[in-house]
Chain A
Amino acid sequence: MLEQFAQLTINGLITGTILALTGVGASLVFGIQRIANFAHGEYLTFAAYAGLLLNATYGQNLVVATAGAMAATAILAVAIHFGVLRPLRGRGLVATSLITVGIGLMLRDVIFMVVGPQTRQFEIDQTAVYDLTLVRISPGQAVAIAITIVVAPAVALLLARTPIGKAMRAVADNRDLAAISGIDVERIGTYVWLLAGALAGLGGTMFAVVQGTFDPNLGFQVLFLIFTTVVLGGIGSAYGALMAGIVLGLAMELSTWSGFAGGLEARFKPVLAFAVLIGLLLYRPQGLFGRARVF
């Protein structure tokens, strides 16, 4: 039972860190652009296939493939920002949501048409297992740990210390105050899409690597986990999303622990996550750590 607990904790930390990083991007976008981006999941799918192209077709290692996917997805996110979302700004919350739903459908089905519906996998040994006495991790998980251990502090540092990171948080927190203190809100908006795209790129490849096999529905399946992370952390709060992702990842895995009232059956994990999301929207839309305020 202890082994199971340790194993679930490791799995939860890995999923949670990936969610946290993706969630930071989505949260800043939600806070700064006021967009509930229903296409965010498809950015992850796009990244997974961009990474796969570099990895399987061009024989690059996973680090290069991930970096490439991050760059490609960042470009995609900025292109959609300038091509569609920015020109259509000011149409209202519902119209914008519908537009992102449409973008998501287009992206997902183009990917389906290009790569086909069959499942794929990265070129890593799917059968190998590293046995660390208490826990066992797959090579895919090991890669995910290695990459997130580098990227997560980098993102935290970017947000905490650099002028751009501070400006992003400022705009997300209070757009008008940020604008009168001399921050170029438009420019920061573009940078936020770059960051969100790159982090979605990281999240997409990492989810694909950790899951082992994936198909073009990869991103849509985690979209609501990303939304839950964003809301749990408090919309627009980057640090909140970092914490919330890890909390959510751990909570989802540990809910299946047999020491916890027999454990929830794994197939009900998504239902639990959806229920948590609705509950949060209802009773703590400002997030676990946020303070109540009117948006």
Chain B
Amino acid sequence: MDFLNLAFWTFVASTAGIYAIFALGLYVQFSMAGLPNFGHVAFMAIGAYTMAILVVRYSVSLPVASMAGIAAAIVLALILGIPSLRLRADYLAIATVAGGEIVRYLAMNLPDLTGGPIGSIGLLGPGQIALYNGGWQRSLDELTTALSAVIGAAANRDLTMALMVWSIVLVLIVLFRRLERSPWGRVLKGIREDEMAVTAVGKNVFAFKLQALMLGAVLGAAAGLLLALQIGVFSPDDYQPTLTFYAYLILILGGMNRLWAIPVGAVVFSLLYAGTRFLNFFPLSLIDSGSRAFLRLFLVGFLLVLFMAVRPQGMLGNRRELLLEK
């Protein structure tokens, strides 16, 4: 593939924006409230599945189905959070990654509900192809027509998608900047630093943690919806635990506790991730294209270890305000 393929990079830009939204959910849970959620991908999965099932099986309109997907993620956050939020950090990590795997295994093994291992395309049962994003494509086309009136012939569906996703990212970042400085945000950071002290001044620590988990779940589900709509088909294998660690890597690449660094981390991550397609020089040319996927995942692991080792505060972070030392 050509390195200067504009359509490809537009697609990468949309994906980067979606990952930024996903990582923002983790930012609320992990960077602000100090909850090491290792099963964030479950919110993505449940949002996408709820939306697709409602659209395909019950002909619910896309906006309503998307709202239902987000609501389902909130319910999952409550189910996971109410019992487990009292756990010590490493136990919480194990419990949440196990919770995420339960969601994935259920999606795989309840074919009557979810379409089973082949995923969303099998939602109507064998022999029929189920599609959920027809309505999305139509509204994107309308937006593209509107956009071409402004910027001319350069407008296309992928560009519209990328612009829309990044507008959402920008709005969210501005909102979260306010949120972070609000009393609510400061209580969360207090919990992260010293739970006992926050309890002592009369705050309900558990309620704040649960709210952080739910807000993160909403963002995770929103990212899951956007990703599902962009790609058009998904299966349980798309929600491997690895995806959660993409979000951790994005946080770490940007800077653990810098809101503005999340989009930067997401772009760097996506460039690295997509860019490995073009590394065709020796000795990497020895690796055949089938193994490239594994090379990419290796790189994710390597960068996780490297950044935790050398620069746990990330590229743009500030070492002074760092929760990892706890």
Contact = CB atoms under 8 A, between A and B. Distances in A.
Contacts of B36: 93-94, 97
B325 A91 contact: yes
28 contacts: A36-B93, A84-B309, A87-B309, A91-B325, A92-B325, A93-B93, A94-B89, A96-B90, A97-B38, A98-B245, A98-B248, A99-B308, A101-B245, A102-B300, A104-B301, A107-B301, A109-B294, A109-B295, A110-B294, A113-B287, A116-B291, A268-B109, A274-B99, A275-B102, A281-B84, A281-B91, A281-B94, A281-B95
Given A93-B89, A97-B93, A110-B298, A278 B308 contact: no
A96 to B, nearest CB: 8
Interface of A: 36, 84, 87-88, 91-99, 101-110, 112-113, 116-117, 224, 227, 231, 267-268, 270-271, 274-275, 277-278, 281-282, 285, 295
A91 B301 CA distance: 17
Interface in B283-321: 287, 290-291, 294-295, 297-298, 300-305, 308-309, 312
Interface of B is mostly: helix
Contact of A270 (B105, B302, B325): B105
Contacts of B325: 91-92, 95
A105 B101 CA distance: 17
Interface string B238-265: 0000100100100010000000000000
A112 B94 contact: no
A102 B102 contact: no
A36 B94 contact: yes
B interface residue count range (under 10 / 10 to 19 / 20 to 34 / 35 or more):
35 or more
Contacts of A285: 87-88, 91
| Residue with the highest number of chain B CB atoms closer than 10 Å, among A110, A224, A271 | A271
A282 B301 contact: no
Nearest to A42: B301
Contacts of B287: 113
Contacts of B87: 281-282, 285
B84 A282 contact: yes
Contacts of B172: none
B196 interface: no
Given A105-B245, A281-B84, 11 more contacts: A36-B93, A91-B308, A95-B312, A98-B248, A98-B304, A99-B308, A99-B309, A101-B38, A103-B301, A109-B298, A271-B102
The 5 closest A-B pairs by CB, nearest first: A105-B301, A102-B304, A102-B305, A109-B298, A106-B301
Contacts of A267: 109
Given A97-B93, A271-B109, A282-B87, A112 B304 contact: no
Nearest to A276: B98
Contacts of A107: 301
Nearest to A95: B324
A101 B304 contact: yes
B90 A277 contact: no
A113 B291 contact: yes
A94 B93 CA distance: 8
A256 B95 CA distance: 24
Contacts of A277: 94-95, 98
B83 interface: yes
A37 to B, nearest CB: 10
A125 B83 CA distance: 48
Contacts of B91: 281, 285
A211 B305 CA distance: 32
B90 A97 contact: yes
Given A113-B291, A278-B99, A98 B301 contact: no
A36 B298 CA distance: 20
A6 to B, nearest CB: 27
B304 A92 contact: no
Given A93-B89, A281-B84, A274 B98 contact: yes
A224 B101 contact: yes
Nearest to B36: A94
B101 A102 contact: no
B298 A106 contact: yes
B98 A106 contact: no
A88 B306 CA distance: 11
A224 B84 CA distance: 17
B308 A105 contact: no
B302 A106 contact: yes
Nearest to A91: B324
Contact of B308 (A98, A113, A281): A98
B106 interface: yes
A208 B321 CA distance: 46
Contacts of B305: 84, 99, 102-103, 106
A95 B95 CA distance: 17
B297 A105 contact: yes
Contacts of B295: 109, 113
B326 A105 contact: no
B111 to A, nearest CB: 10
A105 B90 contact: no
B105 A274 contact: yes
A169 B131 CA distance: 57
Interface in B102-152: 102, 105-106, 109
Nearest to B300: A105
A143 B308 CA distance: 42
A99 B89 CA distance: 15
Given A102-B305, A227-B94, A92 B326 contact: yes
A92 B312 CA distance: 11
Nearest to B291: A113
A112 B93 contact: no
A88 B324 contact: no
